Each structure stands twice: as C-alpha cells, then as structure tokens.
C-alpha cells in the first residue's frame, strides 16, 4: 500500500480488478499455466554452511528478493494499470532499503500515473473543483501538477521513506485462501496492518504516517483557500479509504480472472 493514486484512477483500477484477470509480463521467468493463480517461480534453494555469516545470509535473501521484485514490477491490470506492490502468492522475501526505493520510484514515474494526473486535471476543470487554481492553461497545469504531486508524495513516503526507517514491507500480501469474509477483512486491514521486515505482523505505521504526512505536504500546493487541517485530514483519509477498497479488488482479482478464463474455455468447447 505504498502509493497514493488519484481518486478516479484508483476507482478505475478497482473496477478493472473485479472484472478482469491480472496480467503480468515477467521477464526471464518460466512460463506458467495460469499467471493469475500461480506466482512467478523463483528458485529459493540454498545451501546453508556452518560458517555462513549474517552478511552472506542477507545477501542471499536480497538476491532472491531482487528476482521477485523484477517479476512484480511487470504486473499490470488489463496490461495498463500498474500493480507492482502486490505479492500475488502471499509469500516473498523482505526487501532491502534500496529495493524499497526502487519499487517506489518505479511506481511514481509510471506513465499511467502521469496520464491519470492529466486526465483528472481536465475533469477538475469540467466539474469546477479547486477553483483557486484558476482556469485556462495555467489552471490546468496547476491541477495536473497537484494531482501528480499527490501521487508522488504518497508513493515515496508510504512506499520508501517510512518503510525504510521503520523496517516494514510496503507491499500488499494476498491471503489467497480461506473464507470470503476472512479475505475481505484481511484486505480491508491492509492500510493499517502490514508485514515487517522480520516477517511479523505489525501496525502499518509506514502507510499511516506516509498518508498523513503527504496530506500535510499538500497544503504547500493546493489553493490557499483550501489549506489547513481539514485538507490534511480529508486527503489522508481518502488515501486510506482508497487503499482499503483497492486491496479488496487485488485480493480477489486472481479468483475472478481464473473464473473468467474457465468460462471462456467452456464456451469454446464443442
């Protein structure tokens, strides 16, 4: 739950998750019979020697994490919407500080988020929101910049800065099994509960602090008449709600995708 997508962009992504399969074009990974139901196969075999040092053990862990991260950074919904922060299998090695930063930057500079900021800027002018930005080319540019700043601030703070400082994993780990209600609860708790680098469940302080810090920073570029504590609380609360709803979509997307694929196969049978 590392990055803060623009509201309209996230709603599109959630809807897509619930209706279509999740596509990943992982490079240098063996072909899978179903990319939705099975994660990329990473060779985690290792020989542990009695003289292995802590540094060597960490190096091995991070080398495996690098392979997993390379596959995750290819994951997209409908081949367009980035889905880099989801561990589809629910199992993954912890990321190093550099890998967390790489993942956050990969999210922030993705063309989809840039295009989304532009589209929402146009929608903002059409619906007469944030009138303090003005109108015309100048107002459009300010709206675009504000939208993209929201995405970048949330992504870097919740996906890199705080996870590095607090030793927490910024990704969403699917539960994948169990009752529907337990999986919904798991997904809804994602903005508040995370996995630490030590593998233990923790309060998601990285996402909470990142969301509220990004909300506070938005006071620097939103129209003057909208700034204040209210803006901080509204923006950060919207981020948390988007994260919870988005996680529900991501939790069940592989199941919906598998159902859709089976349905198409049955229809094609003579």
pLDDT tops 80 at residue 209: yes
Digit-coded pLDDT (tens) for 14-72 = 444 444 444 433 334 434 334 344 455 555 444 555 567 888 888 888 899 999 999 99
Q: What does pLDDT average to over the chain? A: 82
What was the pLDDT predicted at 51?
A: 62
Give the relative orientation of helices 180-188 and 229-268 as an angle to the nearest 10 degrees.
Answer: 150
Q: Considering only CA atoms, which of 213, 187, 192 is closest in space to residue 202?
A: 192
Distance CA 173, CA 87 (A): 5
CA distances from 267 to 254, 261, 263, 264 (A): 20, 10, 6, 5
The model's confidence at residue 112, banded by pLDDT at 50, 70 and 90, is very high
Contact (CB, 8 A) for 204 and 256: no
DSSP collapsed to 3 states, the chain:
CCCCCCHHHHHHHHHHHHHCCEEECCCCCCCCCCCCCCCCCCCCCCCCCCCCCHHHHHHHHHHHHHHHHHHHCCEEECCCEECCCEECCCCCCCCCHHHHHHHHHHHHCCHHHHHHHHHHHHHHHHCCCCHHHCCHHHHHHHHHHHHHHHHHHHHHHHHHHHHHHHCECCCEECCCCCCHHHHHHHHHCCCCEEEECCCCEEECHHHHHHHHHHHHHHHHCCCHHHCCHHHHHHHHHHHHHHHHHHHHHHHHHHHHHHHHHHHHHHHHCC
What was the pLDDT predicted at 156?
A: 96
pLDDT tops 50 at residue 10: no
- Percent of the chain scoring above 70 in pLDDT: 80
Strand partners, 202: 194
What was the pLDDT predicted at 188?
A: 95
Least confident piece of the model among 25-29, 43-47, 86-90, 229-233: 25-29
Contacting residues for 187 by C-beta, under 8 A, at least 6 apart? 172, 175, 244, 247, 248, 250, 251
pLDDT tops 90 at residue 3: no
Contact (CB, 8 A) for 249 and 183: no
pTM: 0.74
CA distances from 84 to 70, 87, 172 (A): 9, 8, 10
Distance CA 119, CA 188 (A): 28
The model's confidence at residue 180, banded by pLDDT at 50, 70 and 90, is very high
Give the distance from CA 173 to its chain's centroid. 11
Q: φ and ψ at 76, to 5 degrees? A: -140, 155
Read off the pLDDT of each residue in 164-188 and give the average, rounded to a whole number: 95
What was the pLDDT predicted at 6?
A: 44
The model's confidence at residue 2, banded by pLDDT at 50, 70 and 90, is very low
The model's confidence at residue 214, banded by pLDDT at 50, 70 and 90, is very high
What was the pLDDT predicted at 270?
A: 63
What was the pLDDT predicted at 261?
A: 81
């Amino acid at each position: 739950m590392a990055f803060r997508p623009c509201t309209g962009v996230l709603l599109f992504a959630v809807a897509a998750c619930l209706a279509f399969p999740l596509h990943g074009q992982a490079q240098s990974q063996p072909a899978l019979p179903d990319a939705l139901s099975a994660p990329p196969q990473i060779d985690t075999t290792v020989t542990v020697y009695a003289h292995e040092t802590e540094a060597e053990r960490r190096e091995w862990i991070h080398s495996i994490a690098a392979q997993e991260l390379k596959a995750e950074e290819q994951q997209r919904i409908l081949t367009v919407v980035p889905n880099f922060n989801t561990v589809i299998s629910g199992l993954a090695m912890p990321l190093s500080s550099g890998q967390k930063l790489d993942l956050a930057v990969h999210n922030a500079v993705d063309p989809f988020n840039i295009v989304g900021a532009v589209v929402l800027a146009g929608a903002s002018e059409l619906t007469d929101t944030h009138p303090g930005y003005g109108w015309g080319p100048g107002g459009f540019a300010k709206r675009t910049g504000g939208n993209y700043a929201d995405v970048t601030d949330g992504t870097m703070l919740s996906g890199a800065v705080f996870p590095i400082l607090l030793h927490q994993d910024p990704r969403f780990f699917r539960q994948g099994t169990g009752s529907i209600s337990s999986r919904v609860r798991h997904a809804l708790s994602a903005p508040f509960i995370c996995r630490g680098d030590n593998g233990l469940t923790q309060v998601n302080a990285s996402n909470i602090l990142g969301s509220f810090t990004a909300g506070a920073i938005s006071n620097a570029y939103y129209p003057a008449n909208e700034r204040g504590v209210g803006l901080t609380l509204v923006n950060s609360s919207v981020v948390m709600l988007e994260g919870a709803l988005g996680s529900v979509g991501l939790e069940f997307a592989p199941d919906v995708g598998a159902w859709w694929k089976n349905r198409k196969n049955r229809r094609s049978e003579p």
